[in-house]
Amino acid sequence: MTISSELLRRVRATASRQDWVLTSSQLKSAGADRNTVRRMIRSGQWVPLTRGSYWVGWDDRGPSLRSRVRGTLLTCGPQVVAAGITAGRLLGIEGLPRDDGTLHLAAPPGHEIRSRPGVRVHRSAVPPSARMTLRGIPLTTPARTCADLLLQLPRVEAVSVLDSALHLRLLSKPDLLTIPAHLSGRPHAPRARTWLGLADARAESPLETRVRLICLDDGLPPPVLQWHIPDPEQNRSYRIDLGWPTHLVGIETDGKAPHSTPHALYQDRFRQNRLVTLLPTLTLLRFTWADTHDPPSILLPLRQALGCP
């Protein structure tokens, strides 16, 4: 089924400004009546997102996260914003749980919107100072988002989120000091406040954060993150993810994506050989994500290298 080129032009002109999403009223204003909308949905050219909003894009992968959030918020009114895990994803924060497709929104108590399959509504007043707009989508600020996630996530994931937000410069150190105010009076706030002191902007991945917490929880000396090893001959320096310089012990965390290509494997070997040349007594341990599910596989060789009983 096709529609007139002029109608299609009007639809796309508006949709292109809001992540290829239109509301029923916007489609009507563009000249698409109910029968046209039904036929476009049946043909698979348009996708209903929620009651009253439609994705009219043409990406084979379907609606993006931004499109799904936009479609939902366009029908909710200005008091509702993306929050929690969804806000974190929109901001680009790493360390979040696997995406199950659920959108997380914050709405003030008494608002008519309700949770439903695919949408979880958190009843929480979000003052103007705790909200922002990111390319047209209203959401909680990084500080408020991190505060919400501290209350919703387990400790390791919560600290990973803080590390990522700091590393990405979504949060500054002064911003971090405002998080307790966002936690005040909310369930689990005392527990969440104790995790703030674990945040470290130098952590470059959730895997680094997890390994660091395993070391700290075992009572080992705090590692130096991004330990710099100068290489005067090559006029450069190398960085080791976590290190104990006085013991000449380091840990490299090998995430699957960055270290799985043939070129990356070659670079890793060259780098490790160069580090051992620069520091002949260096002990460099390498761990993967799977190792974090079995802490002794990390702690036993590390304690031996550090000379800890």
Which tens digit of pLDDT belongs to each residue from 120-137? 999 988 999 999 999 999
Is the model's pLDDT at 257 over the cut of 70?
A: no
Which residues are 287's β-sheet partners? Answer: 253
- Residue 148: the pLDDT is 97
pLDDT(268) > 90: no
Please tell me whether residue 46 adopts helix, strand or coil conformation.
Answer: coil
Report the pLDDT value the prediction gives residue 254, as an integer from 0 to 100: 84
Question: Residue 281 in 3-state DSSP?
Answer: coil
> What is the strand order of the sheet 224-231 is part of?
224-231, 236-244, 249-253, 283-287
Q: Which of 38-47, 131-140, 226-235, 256-265 has the lowest mean pLDDT?
A: 256-265
Task: Tell me the mean pLDDT in the region 59-77.
Answer: 93
Q: Count CB neighbours of 190 within 10 A.
A: 8
What's residue 10's pLDDT?
A: 92
Q: What count of other Cβ atoms lies within 10 Å of the Cβ of residue 66?
A: 19
**φ and ψ of 118, to 5 deg:** 90, -10
Q: Is the pLDDT of residue 265 over 90?
A: no
Per-residue confidence (pLDDT) for residue 3, from 0 to 100: 76
Shortest CA distance to 175 belongs to which of 209, 138, 214, 147?
Answer: 147
How many Cβ atoms from other residues are within 10 Å of residue 85's Cβ? 23
CA nearest 228: which of 219, 237, 216?
Answer: 237
Predicted confidence band of residue 244 (pLDDT cuts 50, 70, 90): very high
Q: Is 70 exceeded by the pLDDT of residue 164?
A: yes
Q: How far apart are CA 6 and CA 128, in angstroms?
A: 40
Positive or negative: CA dihedral 135, 139, 140, 142: negative
Indicate the domain borders of the chain.
Answer: 5-62, 76-198, 206-306
Q: Outline where DSSP puts E strands in the chain.
A: 21-23, 47-50, 53-55, 81-82, 103-107, 119-123, 131-134, 137-140, 224-231, 236-244, 249-253, 283-287
Residues 180 and 193: beta-carbon distance below 8 Å: yes
Cβ neighbourhood burial of 5 (10 Å; 0-12, 13-18, 19+): exposed
Q: Which helix (H) or strand (E) holds 262?
A: helix 262-278
| In the predicted structure, residue 277 carries a pLDDT above the cut 90 | no
Q: What's the CATH fold of domain 206-306? A: Endonuclease; Chain A (3.40.960)
